[in-house]
Structure 1
Amino acid sequence: MGDEPEEFAEFYQASRDGCLRAVYASVGDRLLAEDLIAEAYARAWASWWKVSRHPAPQAWVVRTALNTHVSWWRRRRREVSWESRGSQDTAPTAPDATMGVDEQVLAAVRSLPARQREVVALRVFLDLDTQTTARTLAIAPGTVTAHLSRAIATLRDQLAVSVEEETRSR
């Protein structure tokens, strides 16, 4: 029990970048992803005795962050902000906001349906296997495979079109 702080610190250091990339790919907003990951790691620390025994603690953190996002969204969808009613703020993405992932790839991932984004985040960005992804998302392994297959086909089509357009413009 005396090793818990060091064990958690090692886990955090080893997993934070991958988890942040996975959540960012799913939600599409760097600051929101950072907030969600911070909340998820705080919850992981509070339940470290349980999380440390989880078969995929990184997946636990990502799933917790995504669940938190849904909770926040549900809470805020009923709120109406007078300041934001008439304006749509679309701030440009800071250069480091993509965290080393091509912006066209991130845009293509963001265009996927939510479940496909989650599967891509866990399978591609966290490199989890199908079984762990299925357990994390509480879906069947075949469903994970189907979502991943559809997502890859969509991404392939979207990115191929982007490359063709870029080639033509040169």
Structure 2
Amino acid sequence: MRSLRRVPDVKQREFTEFYRSDQAACLRAVLVSVGDRQLAEDLVAEAFTRAWTSWHKVSRHPAPRAWIVRTALNVRVSRWRRQRREVAWDGTHEVEDVSAGDSGLDPALLTALRRLPRRQREVLACRVFLDLDTAGTATVLGIAPGTVTAHLSRAVASLRAHLVDEEQLEVGP
């Protein structure tokens, strides 16, 4: 008797190709937003799981990578809200140190990114790591295009000031 091999259907092949080509970019974008590698990996995994279950809708989305990142960030907020109700916060918060080798980002840049407000990190993640335009970023984050521009401008100015100061300290007078 001849053994039959199951041929993956089109949906599975499309999703597998999408995952392989875009998972790293989505992870970097979420990592910039949350600052914790393990959390970012968990959030992206959850977002890709949700994308698989709704692949018929996600595959037609104008920016599927942005859908993944937005979903991951929404999952983070949902988890935070659930934890806030479950456990009283003791006032401490530790952010896991992520080395440059793990994230693909310069450690000084990652440190500077962590100092930015959450919305500025999200705008940078969409604009730089996902290569979305202002309108696309505004749609994904649910804010006005002018707000995207303002956050991006402030974030870039803050990063420039921080990184230039650091370089001058290393080089010296």
Q: What is the TM-score when the length of structure 2 is the normalising length?
A: 0.87
For residues 41-61 of structure 1, give each alpha carbon's deviation from its aligned partner in whole angstroms, at most 9, with x where no partner exists: 000000000000100000000
What is the deviation of 1:92?
A: 4.6
Match of 1:96 in 2: 101
The runs of 5 or more residues in structure 2 that have no matched partner are 1-8
- The residue that corresponds to 1:146 in the other structure is 150
Q: Which amino acid aligns with 1:16?
A: Q
Q: Does 1:163 align with 2:167?
A: yes
Larger radius of gyration: 2
Task: Return the offset for 1:90.
Answer: 6.1
Aligned partner of 1:6: which letter?
R
Shift of 1:119: 0.2
> What code does the residue aligned with 1:11 have?
F
Q: Deviations over 1:110-138 (max 9, x none)?
A: 11111111000110111111111111011
Give the distance between the partners of 2:95 and 2:117, measured in 1 at CA: 21
Q: Aligned pair in 2 of structure 1 residues 47, 106: CA closer, same or farther (>3 Å)?
A: same
Matches within 5 A, 1:18-33: 18-33=25-40
1:14, distance to aligned residue in structure 2 (A): 0.7
Match of 1:35 in 2: 42
- Tell me, in whole angstroms, the C-alpha distance in 2 between the residues paired with 1:129 and 1:92: 30
C-alpha contact 2:100 2:106 (8 A) present in aligned 1: no
State the match for 2:4 in structure 1.
none
Give the 3 Å change call, closer, same or farther, for CA 104–43 of structure 1 in structure 2.
same
Change (3 A) 1:113 1:95: closer
**Aligned twin of 1:112:** 116
Say if 1:149 and 1:49 are closer, same or farther in 2 by CA, change over 3 A: same
Number of aligned residues: 165
